[in-house]
Chain A
């Protein structure tokens, strides 16, 4: 009997040693690998693109995902060294760079950057202390997504129209939802003077609200299951849902205007693969990549003019991202800390109200 136990003990120790060596090699392998932090299914993780990028540069790309912008920031803060490229809504860029999370972008390392629309490349959102902390990637809008065949709403007020009882979905993002309330009450979405009115508008949606989505995948599954007909949705995702997944959704910008945003790719200060990160960002704004992404999968509008010019005039992406919207929409801008806090608390309160 004792011999058996001893042999078994040896076996266990052997397995333990194996485990340790496994973990050690796992760390060593990371030499030509970069980690990207992004929303799931948002361009950077298209498998055909990663395959092509690997062929060209030999760099492996792995992903980690977030389901809200605060989560993205917390992941950056609490995982130093883990990420090499991060997608940041430019409205958050100043917040992230002021906390010392990012490095300023050296555009000489991004050859494709000369195609960037200057207005977007040098957008004040991306600038902090005179330096640019993110490479403008794509822009788009948050507005309404409606099931095809239903009457197109002309106002965000449709969100609380009894016709959509229990058939409405909202996006779990404080800035967007406060923005909707602000647009409904004719206020500046980046600085509403009367937050009480904003909250009242949003609370009126309660009887219609079926779900609050926080990822594109969740939106797609719920939409397929007919859980809702009308939703606050992303313009690029609307194209993707329709083109890539064949879902009957139409993107509508109501008369109050859309909530515009500019997404950028940034490099965390703690990244140990900055050169590889630059190569990846360069690839992400490459017109060839964008053409395939936009026409085969579905995307928002590229910040790279050359990429946009490559697309046919009648492409679905172009029809959704009409040039005129750039004039009518306001872009989410950087918020001072206290206002962001106020927005967050308001949204928390409204969610608790919906739940109550």
Chain B
């Protein structure tokens, strides 16, 4: 029985990684039409270096992700503190209101943003994507930081306050340092959510400002060469690296999952 279980797990992992491995491999294959047999080349990586459209889109993705991380982590941490450190009526309603960004299919929220932003003249592009990405990332930040706050005993803060510090000072000198790993973890989470976000970005991108996933989707539909594989490989491996760092930072028994 146990052997069967292990074989089955190996099969699942094979299934999960097979296409990814093939995709990475094809980035090193000569044929522009993805024909096999395999002929090794680094050609597509040098093509990628000259593909300014993809490179620009890649940097755009990174900048949106950095900005999203800063804003979402700040706002989300504030909200998490308020939601876990004070009790008031309506708190559960506020908690439930955090769900729509992650629970409603992004197709719906993305097109809704498109309608509002187009209609009101907010327009699309960097700022619009930022609005969308931060909204998606905040719930995750509140979740991760909120979990972190639960593990910190409030009596430390109370002790500090009984020794005469103000609540604010107690928070900054006692809680925040203890919360530090959770906040970094939440930030990484926000970064990855933004970096991999496709649907919302797709509806909010403009020809002048697209992100990497949007550019890749457009290329898949309109024409591409294996340099797409090269940049996909880079994006994929960076996301994986981020996750591993995250797993090291927030490791309470793998309790924190993606949603």
Contact = CB atoms under 8 A, between A and B. Distances in A.
Interface of A: 1-2, 5, 12-13, 15-16, 19, 22-23, 26-27, 30, 35, 37, 39-41, 62-67, 75, 78-79, 82-83, 214-218, 220-221, 224-225, 245
Contacts of B167: none
A295 to B, nearest CB: 21
Contacts of B221: 67, 214-215, 218
B131 to A, nearest CB: 15
Contacts of A66: 222
Given A22-B63, A79-B206, A82-B207, 11 more contacts: A2-B177, A13-B70, A16-B70, A23-B63, A67-B221, A214-B221, A216-B223, A217-B224, A218-B221, A221-B33, A221-B34
A79 B177 CA distance: 46
Given A5-B180, A19-B67, A23-B63, A82 B222 contact: no
A217 B207 contact: no
A13 B124 CA distance: 24
A50 B186 CA distance: 45
B35 interface: yes
Given A22-B63, A66-B222, A67-B221, A12 B70 contact: yes
Interface bracket on B: 20 to 34
B59 interface: yes
Interface in B91-134: 118, 124, 126
Contacts of A214: 221
Interface in B30-74: 33-35, 53, 56, 59, 63, 66-67, 69-70
B222 A40 contact: yes
Contacts of B53: 62-63
B172 interface: yes
A83 B207 contact: yes
Q: Which of B172, B221, B222 has the most chain A CB atoms closer than 10 A to its own CB? A: B222
A14 to B, nearest CB: 11
A218 B172 CA distance: 57
Contact of B207 (A22, A27, A35, A41): A35
Contact of A5 (B118, B126, B176): B176
A287 B53 CA distance: 29
A215 B70 CA distance: 39
A19 B62 CA distance: 9
B66 A19 contact: yes
22 contacts: A1-B177, A5-B176, A5-B180, A12-B69, A12-B70, A15-B66, A16-B66, A16-B67, A26-B209, A35-B207, A39-B222, A40-B223, A41-B223, A63-B53, A65-B222, A65-B223, A66-B222, A78-B118, A79-B206, A82-B208, A215-B222, A225-B33
A37 B126 CA distance: 21
Interface string B66-88: 11011000000000000000000
B173 interface: yes
B238 interface: no
A197 to B, nearest CB: 32
Q: Which of B34, B56, B208 has the most chain A CB atoms closer than 10 A to its own CB? A: B208
A55 to B, nearest CB: 18
B223 A217 contact: yes
Contacts of B34: 221, 225
B166 interface: no
B165 interface: no
Contacts of B69: 12
A218 B209 CA distance: 25
Interface string B158-198: 00000000000000110011001000000000000000000
Contacts of B118: 78
B154 interface: no
Contact of B126 (A23, A67, A78): A23
A79 B207 contact: yes
B152 to A, nearest CB: 14
A16 B72 CA distance: 13
A65 B217 CA distance: 12
Contacts of B177: 1-2, 5
A210 to B, nearest CB: 17
A2 B224 contact: no
Contacts of B180: 1, 5
Q: Which of B173, B176, B221, B223 has the most chain A CB atoms closer than 10 A to its own CB? A: B223
A224 B33 contact: yes
A20 to B, nearest CB: 8
Contacts of A13: 70
Nearest to B221: A67
- Sorted from nearest, which 5 A-B pairs have the closest CB atoms? A217-B223, A40-B223, A1-B177, A64-B207, A19-B63
A101 B118 CA distance: 17
Contacts of A224: 33, 35
B59 A22 contact: yes
Contacts of A220: 33
A93 to B, nearest CB: 21
A325 to B, nearest CB: 27
A144 B81 CA distance: 66
A111 to B, nearest CB: 29
Contacts of B172: 2
Contacts of A62: 53
Given A16-B66, A16-B70, A225-B33, A218 B207 contact: no
A65 B218 contact: yes
A2 B207 contact: no
B206 A217 contact: no
